[in-house]
């Protein structure tokens, strides 16, 4: 049995003023995922179909509650700067695969990324100028588009949320799931077990999960295990998402403190945690 796992992340930046900012992406609920049958070249979901096109909108908030203004939004695809043009609300890039809303930096994928020669994960990199508390800084964050070679019997589960930040205006977030079977498309009926890290959330087995501030201490990883039915004991896919409560007084941040930055044979990486108030 093939199993897949996905995790999200949040970026915390410290500006010259000492202000901490959170960077996440709001979404329209469409997964940054494509599966492809490398023999036939058929992809699913098809991003040329308007109903399947995912969007991501940069969301930046201040730990001090300060006003933030974003400008000069840019996107890169696998390191290549995307050139958008047009006067419409949505500007299209030169490759014809992406559109951007220049007013808020929202990106939309309108063309298929997976192909018989591209079955590895792609990276979208957003950057903008962030103005707050009298200073300007360039900030950036990556998005991963998961591309996979799938057979007719491979299951892939996805967890998404319209926003990943709990705030005073957003005290509850709904996590949503989707399950795909190969290139045949979305599965309509399945069973889910939800976890906070490795702790099973009792009584929560629907395709959605409501997350409140009481469930999140700083940042919390939620994991969904997908089963064909409640009678099954072996999951067919797993996926995860990280939710942050930006109103918590204390946050835990991590950084790679060793000289070696990548894990390799006989080369360990040390990660150090520290608390931000």
Instruction: Tell me the DSSP string of 120-177.
Output: SPEEEEEEEEEEETTEEEEEEEEEEEEEEE--TT-EEEEEE-S-SEE-SS--EEEEEE
Please enumerate in sequence order all residues whose Cβ is within 8 A of that of 75, keeping only pairs 6 or more positions apart, or say none.
81, 82, 84, 98, 100, 105, 107, 124, 125, 126, 127
Please enumerate in sequence order all residues whose Cβ is within 8 A of that of 46, keeping only pairs 6 or more positions apart, or say none.
52, 112
**What is the side-by-side order of every strand in the sheet holding 43-44?**
43-44, 33-36, 135-149, 122-132, 69-77, 80-81
Q: Residue 1: inside a domain, yes or no?
A: no
Is the pLDDT higher at 209 or at 183? 209
Q: What is the pLDDT of residue 131?
A: 92
Rounded-to-integer distance, Cα 171 and Cα 165, Å:
9
Q: What percent of the chain has pLDDT over 90?
A: 60
Q: How many helices (H) and strands (E) does the chain have?
A: 0, 24
pLDDT band at residue 206 using 50, 70 and 90 as cut-offs? very high
Please tell me the total count of domains within the chain: 1
pLDDT band at residue 269 using 50, 70 and 90 as cut-offs? confident
Residues 223-236: what's their mean pLDDT? 96
Please give the mean pLDDT across all residues of the chain: 86
User: Look-up: residue for tokens 């894990």?
Assistant: 263
Residues 129-138: what's their mean pLDDT? 88
Q: Residue 252: inside a domain, yes or no?
A: yes
Q: Residue 72: inside a domain, yes or no?
A: yes
Model confidence pTM above 0.85: no
Q: Residue 183: inside a domain, yes or no?
A: yes
Please enumerate in sequence order all residues whose Cβ is within 8 A of that of 267, keeping only pairs 6 or more positions apart, or say none.
260
When mean pLDDT is compared over 60-69, 86-95, 179-188, 250-259, the highest value belongs to: 86-95
pLDDT band at residue 275 using 50, 70 and 90 as cut-offs? low
CB atoms closer than 10 angstroms to residue 116: 13
Rounded-to-integer distance, Cα 36 and Cα 64, Å:
44
Q: Residue 48: inside a domain, yes or no?
A: yes
Rg of the chain over Cα atoms, rounded to whole angstroms, equals 20
When mean pLDDT is compared over 31-45, 61-75, 223-237, the highest value belongs to: 223-237
Q: Residue 59: inside a domain, yes or no?
A: yes
Q: Residue 3: inside a domain, yes or no?
A: no
- Yes or no: say if 220 and 227 are a contact pair by the CB < 8 Å rule: no
Q: What is the pLDDT of residue 50?
A: 96
In a 10 Å sphere around its CB, with 0-12 CB exposed, 13-18 middle and 19+ buried, how is residue 118 labelled?
Answer: middle
Please enumerate in sequence order all residues whose Cβ is within 8 A of that of 19, keeping only pairs 6 or more positions apart, or say none.
62, 63, 64, 66, 132, 133
pLDDT band at residue 104 using 50, 70 and 90 as cut-offs? very high
Domain of residue 228: give its range: 11-276
Q: What is the pLDDT of residue 9?
A: 54
Is the pLDDT higher at 267 or at 139? 139
Is the pLDDT higher at 244 or at 251? 244
**What is the side-by-side order of every strand in the sheet holding 219-227?**
165-166, 237-245, 219-227, 191-196, 199-200
Please enumerate in sequence order all residues whose Cβ is within 8 A of that of 214, keeping only pairs 6 or more positions apart, or say none.
none
> Is the backbone of residue 41 left (phi > 0), alpha (psi -120 to 50) or beta?
left
pLDDT beyond 80 at 237: yes
Rounded-to-integer distance, Cα 17 and Cα 132, Å:
9
Residues 16-28: what's their mean pLDDT? 80
Q: Residue 6: inside a domain, yes or no?
A: no
């Amino acid at each position: 049995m093939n199993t897949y796992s996905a995790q999200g992340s949040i970026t915390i930046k410290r500006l010259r003023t000492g202000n901490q900012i959170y960077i996440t992406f709001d979404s329209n609920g469409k997964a940054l995922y494509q599966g492809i049958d490398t023999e036939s070249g058929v992809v699913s979901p098809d991003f040329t179909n308007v109903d399947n096109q995912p969007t991501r909108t940069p969301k930046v908030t201040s730990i001090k509650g300060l006003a933030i203004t974003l400008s000069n939004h840019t996107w890169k695809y696998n390191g290549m700067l995307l050139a958008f043009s047009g006067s419409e609300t949505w500007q299209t890039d030169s490759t014809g695969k992406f559109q951007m809303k220049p007013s808020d930096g929202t990106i939309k994928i309108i063309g298929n990324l997976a192909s018989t020669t591209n079955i590895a994960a792609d990276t979208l990199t957003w950057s903008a100028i962030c103005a707050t508390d009298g200073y300007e800084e360039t900030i950036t964050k990556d998005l991963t588009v998961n591309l996979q070679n799938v057979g007719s019997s491979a299951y892939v589960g996805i967890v998404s949320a319209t926003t990943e930040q709990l705030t005073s205006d957003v005290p509850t977030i709904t996590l949503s799931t989707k399950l795909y079977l190969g290139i045949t498309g979305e599965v309509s009926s399945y069973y889910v077990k939800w976890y906070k890290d490795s702790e099973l959330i009792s009584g929560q087995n629907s395709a959605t999960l409501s997350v409140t501030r009481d469930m999140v201490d700083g940042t919390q990883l939620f994991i969904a295990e997908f089963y064909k039915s409640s009678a099954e004991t072996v999951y067919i896919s797993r996926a995860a998402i990280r939710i942050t409560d930006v109103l918590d007084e204390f946050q835990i941040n991590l950084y790679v403190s060793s000289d070696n930055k990548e894990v390799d044979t006989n080369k360990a990486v040390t990660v150090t945690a520290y608390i931000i108030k």
